[in-house]
């Protein structure tokens, strides 16, 4: 009977408009649902009578109708709650920087405020004319400065999309601005015009595509190409694996927490890990604490022993690490609480490791593209000899290689390689 009932009810619910994206009230949903149940019951009765299905008892029919209404309510509430959480996440609300402050910029800002199908945050505008910006706003959006400071601004601040809302022929350094945005892995959007060819770009270029943004046609420039299907499967894998692992590993979490508290009672069990994620958006993750409580204050005394060239600090036999912490780091067990960040959506299972803001501020410009995707718990660096790599530039190149070749199969391969790397005890110093 389910082979008949499930598609029948799906058709009826769709016909009643209960699968649409409109935000209808729960009263409206309930009335439509009762109507579906009535029509469905009538259709079911006709089938039972026509085919003389004597084995279908009244209790079965009554039980189905009694259960379907509350279960459909619960299902709808769960889906809408998950969707609302997804839309409210910082990665789902792109931060938009506008180049220009005149008619085209004003039109873009007005249109963006009346577009109901996308959430976004307009950061501000950069104006090529130095005399135009002090203290001014454009349709309530502040003018942040001139385009001369573009490279430094996008390096220092969380930006997802750069919109060129002015004719490119009026922007002398348009090409260098586009290239700087693409070097960081940002999406740069311009209204397509004939001036693109004069910059050396056409719509046939691999970095250029034609798309619609906020209902407006745009030429999109980007060096990070990760398809929507891949991102959906990647997020589904993150949710399923992180949720299952958090449940299965709970006894291990409890044991580690007890050991940390017994051997180092003065500090907390979890270390609040303040880092930056995709496009330098900050978040707080968690690790099991592996160091003495005042480890941060002691770091400045150990900088001369840093074994990693670049902005990241790495030291063998770090005296700040506790006895239990050394074991946890050796087998990467201190990283397990990051599964919560994966479930929440701040991180992914596979992706470049997130840096602290201080580290990210000291990246070279080309290294900043590490932050163009969601950070991960494991990456190519970790499965390719993390402790043997002493040059941060080499680490960054591995991350950029992953960003360029990322796919669902690459992610699975990295995850599978992580397992033996953990058992070989190749964790952090």
Q: Is the pLDDT of residue 35 over 90?
A: no
Sheet (strand 121-127) strand order: 137-138, 141-146, 121-127, 95-99, 161-164, 187-190, 216-221, 208-213
Strands (E) across 82-120 are located at 95-99
Helical spans, DSSP H, in 129-249: 150-156, 174-183, 195-198, 228-248
The fold adopted by the segment(s) 94-221 is Rossmann fold (3.40.50)
Alpha carbons 191 and 210: distance in angstroms, whole number: 10
The C-alpha R_g of the chain, in whole angstroms, comes to 27
Alpha carbons 350 and 345: distance in angstroms, whole number: 12
pLDDT band at 356 (very low <50, low <70, confident <90, very high): very high
Alpha carbons 64 and 48: distance in angstroms, whole number: 15
pLDDT band at 22 (very low <50, low <70, confident <90, very high): low
The per-residue pLDDT for 12 is: 84
The per-residue pLDDT for 299 is: 82
Per the document, the length of the chain is: 429
Tell me the mean pLDDT in the region 373-382: 90
**pLDDT tens figures, 126-138:** 988 877 555 688 8
Tell me the mean pLDDT in the region 342-359: 94
Tell me the mean pLDDT in the region 407-420: 91
Q: Is the pLDDT of residue 187 over 60?
A: yes
Phi, psi at residue 252, to the nearest 5°? Answer: -65, -40
Q: Is the pLDDT of residue 387 over 90?
A: no
Q: What is the mean pLDDT of the chain?
A: 86
427: β partners: none
pLDDT band at 386 (very low <50, low <70, confident <90, very high): low
260-274, 312-326, 397-411: segment of lowest average pLDDT? 312-326
61-70, 140-149, 270-279, 310-319: segment of lowest average pLDDT? 61-70
Q: Is the pLDDT of residue 425 over 70?
A: no
Tell me the mean pLDDT in the region 323-350: 93
Q: Is the pLDDT of residue 194 over 60?
A: no
The per-residue pLDDT for 271 is: 93
The per-residue pLDDT for 69 is: 82
What tokens were used for 258?
A: 């007890």
Alpha carbons 396 and 381: distance in angstroms, whole number: 9
| 208 half-sphere exposure, CB direction, 13 A CA radius | 17
Q: What is the pTM of this model?
A: 0.77
Phi, psi at residue 348, to the nearest 5°? Answer: -125, 170
Domain spans, the chain: 2-88, 94-221, 228-423
The more confident residue out of 84 and 244 is 244
Tell me the mean pLDDT in the region 71-94: 86
The per-residue pLDDT for 428 is: 55
Q: Is the pLDDT of residue 352 over 90?
A: yes
pLDDT band at 240 (very low <50, low <70, confident <90, very high): very high
Q: Is the pLDDT of residue 156 over 90?
A: yes
What element of type H or E holds 219? strand 216-221
């Amino acid at each position: 009977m389910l082979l008949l009932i499930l598609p029948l009810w799906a058709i009826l619910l769709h016909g009643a408009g209960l699968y649409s994206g409109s935000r209808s009230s729960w009263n409206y949903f309930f009335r439509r649902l009762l109507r579906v149940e009535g029509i469905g019951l009538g259709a079911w009765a006709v089938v039972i009578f026509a085919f003389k299905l004597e084995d279908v008892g009244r209790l079965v029919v009554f039980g189905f109708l009694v259960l379907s209404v509350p279960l459909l309510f619960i299902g709808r509430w769960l889906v809408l709650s998950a969707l609302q959480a997804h839309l409210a996440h910082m990665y789902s609300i792109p931060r938009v920087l506008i180049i220009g402050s005149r008619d085209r910029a004003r039109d873009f800002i007005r249109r963006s405020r009346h577009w109901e199908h996308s959430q976004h945050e307009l950061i501000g505008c950069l104006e090529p004319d130095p005399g135009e910006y002090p203290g001014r706003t454009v349709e309530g959006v502040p003018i942040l400065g001139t385009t001369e400071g573009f490279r430094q601004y996008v390096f220092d601040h969380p930006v997802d999309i750069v919109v060129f809302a002015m004719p490119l022929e009026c922007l002398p350094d348009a090409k260098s601005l586009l290239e700087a945005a693409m070097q960081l892995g940002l999406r740069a959007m311009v209204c397509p015009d004939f001036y693109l060819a004069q910059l050396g770009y056409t719509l046939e270029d691999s970095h250029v595509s034609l798309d619609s943004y906020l209902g407006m046609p745009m030429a999109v420039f980007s060096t990070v190409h990760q398809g929507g299907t891949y991102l959906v499967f990647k997020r589904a894998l993150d949710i399923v694996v992180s949720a299952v692992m958090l449940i299965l590993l709970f006894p291990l979490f409890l044991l580690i927490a007890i050991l940390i508290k017994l051997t180092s009672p003065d500090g907390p069990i979890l270390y609040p890990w303040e880092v930056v994620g995709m496009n330098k958006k900050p978040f707080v993750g968690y690790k099991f604490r592996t160091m003495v409580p005042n480890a941060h204050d002691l770091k400045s005394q150990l900088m001369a022993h840093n074994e990693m060239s670049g902005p990241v600090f790495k030291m063998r036999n770090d005296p700040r690490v506790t006895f239990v912490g050394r074991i946890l780091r050796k087998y990467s067990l201190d990283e397990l609480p990051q599964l919560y960040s994966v479930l929440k959506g701040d991180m992914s299972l596979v992706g470049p490791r997130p840096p602290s803001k201080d580290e990210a501020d000291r990246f070279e410009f080309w290294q900043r593209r590490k932050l163009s995707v969601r950070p991960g718990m494991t990456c190519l660096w970790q499965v390719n000899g993390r402790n043997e790599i002493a040059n941060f530039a080499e680490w960054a190149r591995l991350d950029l290689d992953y960003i360029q070749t990322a796919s669902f199969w690459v992610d699975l391969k990295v995850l599978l390689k992580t397992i033996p790397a953990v058992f070989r005890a190749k964790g952090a110093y």
